[in-house]
Amino acid sequence: MAILKIARMGHPVLAQVARPVADPTAPEIRYLVNDMVETMMDANGAGLAAPQVHIPLRLVIFQAPGERSDPGLAEDEIFDHTAPLTCLVNPEITVLDAATEGGWEGCLSVPGLRGFVERPAHIRYRGFGLDGKLIERTARGFHARVVQHEVDHLDGKLYPSRMGDLSRLIFESEIRHFAKTEEA
């Protein structure tokens, strides 16, 4: 396994639509996923898309650990606030509810910045695992946010393009100042 170089905002690979993966069970896809997992863990990320490591394929990995879930979830939403480490090949997203919720996002391709992004709060996603079997889940909260964020990479979108208010794009080092002004 290897730690791969992560493309940064401005690199052309991040602005293009990724190609479908022909065979999710191919050995080269498994090797790529293993390297992506190592890269994501090394960078302390919650997800990574193949275009972020200079490979324009429709492939994402992500995890939504419980400690990163939104604390304000209603009891009926808590059932699905986490996702194990997941690989999705050729993912598709269906919005299940038009309601949106905002949250702070960061990105390994936009290092040092955070932005407040509104996204659909309840989705269904589907794609294929490395065994070629269909994976289909519903998601809310952080789980839904991370899946949408990673799939955006496959369509050549970075989170700043989803922001409605660029005054809420800030350096991570300044978050403590931003939080104080929001409380006032």
Residues annotated as catalytic are: 150
Could you give the CA distance from residue 181 to residue 110 in angstroms, rounded to a whole number? 24
Q: What is the DSSP string of 7-59?
A: P-TT-GGGGSPPBPPS-TT-HHHHHHHHHHHHHHHHTT-SEEEGGGGT--BSE
Distance between terminal CA atoms of the chain?
Answer: 48
* 152-177 per-residue burial string, b: 16 or more CB within 10 A, e: under 16: bbbebbbbeebbeeeeeebeeeeeee
Longest dimension (CA), the chain: 55
Number of Cβ atoms within 10 Å of the Cβ of 57: 19
Contact 150, 105 (CB under 8 A): no
